[in-house]
Amino acid sequence: MQATKPAIARFTLFALLLLAPVAGLLAETTIEIEPFIASWHDEIVVTVRGQACLANELELVNIEDRVITLRVVTECVVTPPVPLAYELSITLPRLDPDRYEIEVLTPEPPGVASAQLLVHARGDLVIEARPSETLPVTGFFDFTLRGYACGDTWELDGSGTDFVLAIQGLCDFGGVPQQPTYFETEIERVQFAPGTYDISVTAQYSPRLSLADSVVLEVPETPFPPLGCGSDTELCLGRTGGPHLATFTSGNMIGNAVPFRRADTGQIDRTTGFFTLFSPTNLEVTVKLLDGCAINGHRWIFASWTTTLPGVLTVTDVITQTSRTWVKEEGSVPPVADVRAFPCEDTAN
C-alpha cells in the first residue's frame, strides 16, 4: 500500500496540471441578440457563449411576465467535468412589442446570465389614398397598403363616413402561429359620394397586438362640369361625376366631323347634360343617364334633339371602356330611349 500512494499522488497532480490551463480559460457567459432592438415581426436569434461540460443545446424554458428564460443543456460523461467552450443559438418565437429580460441558466459556473431585449411596433401598417390615376373622375380613389401581415385578402367594410380595410388573415388564432411577411398592394377605383370619410386599415396579429393606420378623404361637391371631363366636347354623367362620358359629333359640316360642345349652361344635375353647336346658349342635344338597376338590371340612356343636323351620340363607360353609339339621321327624328344601354354589373354606380 505504501508503494501505491506516490503513484496516486502523481496522477492527481498530473490531472490538476492538465486541468489548470483549461480552468484558466473559464470565461464569463456572454449573450448576443440579433437584432438587439427588434420589430415584432423580426426573426430574433439569441446566441450564448461560455464554457461547460459538453453543452449541446440552448432550450427555451418559458416566457412569462416579459421574462424569457433559456437553459444551456449539457451532457457530462467525465468526472470531474471538463469545461469546454461552446456557442449555442436559438430563434425566439414571435414576440409582442414590449421590453423583455432574457435570463440564461448556465451550468458552468452555475448561475444566471441576463440581457435586455426591446421589441417595438414601428411603421408596420400603412395606408395611403390618392385620387384615382386610372379613372380621373371626382369621387374615385386608389389606395396603397403596405406593411406586415399573415393574410393577403382585403375587404372594405363600413357605412356612413367610416370605412375599415381589414386583413382577412390572423397570425396565431386557432392554429399554428404564422410569421407575418411584408406586403404591398394596390386597391383601385373605389368610389365615394361627396362627403368626408375616415378610412382605416387594421390587422390583428395576436391577442395583444393589433395595428392600424388611417386617412381622411374629402370628396367635394364639385360644380359642373365635374372633374374627369377632359374636353369641353364631353359630358360627364353619373352619380358622382362619372362614370360615363357622352359626346355628340355631326358629320355633314363641309365633309368633316364636328364635335358639339358642352353647353355653357352646364348640367342641371348629375344625370342630364346638353350640347350646343352655333351658340353657347342654344341647346341642340339633351342626354340623360338614369339608374334602372333595381328595375331591369341596366342603366338607361335618353337623348333628344332640337336640331335637324345628323350626328352620332357616343356614351362610354370609363371604367369598362364599353361604348354605345346612337346614330341620328338628318332631319326630324325620334328621340333615343334605350333602357338596356349598360348592364349594371359591368359598371360602377
Domain that holds residue 209: 125-219
- Provide φ and ψ at 344, rounded to 5°: -65, -30
**What is residue 333's predicted lDDT score, i.e. its pLDDT?**
87
User: Is 329 domain-assigned?
Assistant: yes
Last residue of a domain, one of 89, 120, 151: 120
What is the spatial distance between Cα 248 and Cα 241, in angstroms, rounded to a whole number? 18
241 and 202 in one domain? no
**What is residue 157's predicted lDDT score, i.e. its pLDDT?**
59
Alpha helices in 144-260 (DSSP H): none
**What is residue 311's predicted lDDT score, i.e. its pLDDT?**
87
What does DSSP assign to residue 233? T
165 and 78 in one domain? no
Residue 94 in grid coordinates: 414571435
334 and 249 in one domain? yes
What is the spatial distance between Cα 75 and Cα 54, in angstroms, rounded to a whole number? 6
Strand partners, 57: 73
240 and 337 in one domain? yes
Cα separation values, 74 from 30, 71, 81, 154, 337, Å: 17, 9, 11, 49, 88
Number of domains in the chain: 3
**What is residue 47's predicted lDDT score, i.e. its pLDDT?**
95
**What is residue 283's predicted lDDT score, i.e. its pLDDT?**
85
**What is residue 89's predicted lDDT score, i.e. its pLDDT?**
95
What is the spatial distance between Cα 273 and Cα 258, in angstroms, rounded to a whole number? 18
340 and 281 in one domain? yes
What is the spatial distance between Cα 347 and Cα 343, in angstroms, rounded to a whole number? 7
Could you report the average pLDDT of every consecutive run of 10 residues in the chain (349 residues)? 39 34 56 86 90 88 94 82 87 88 85 89 81 73 81 57 57 57 79 81 73 84 50 71 70 55 61 81 86 89 90 84 88 91 67
130 and 111 in one domain? no
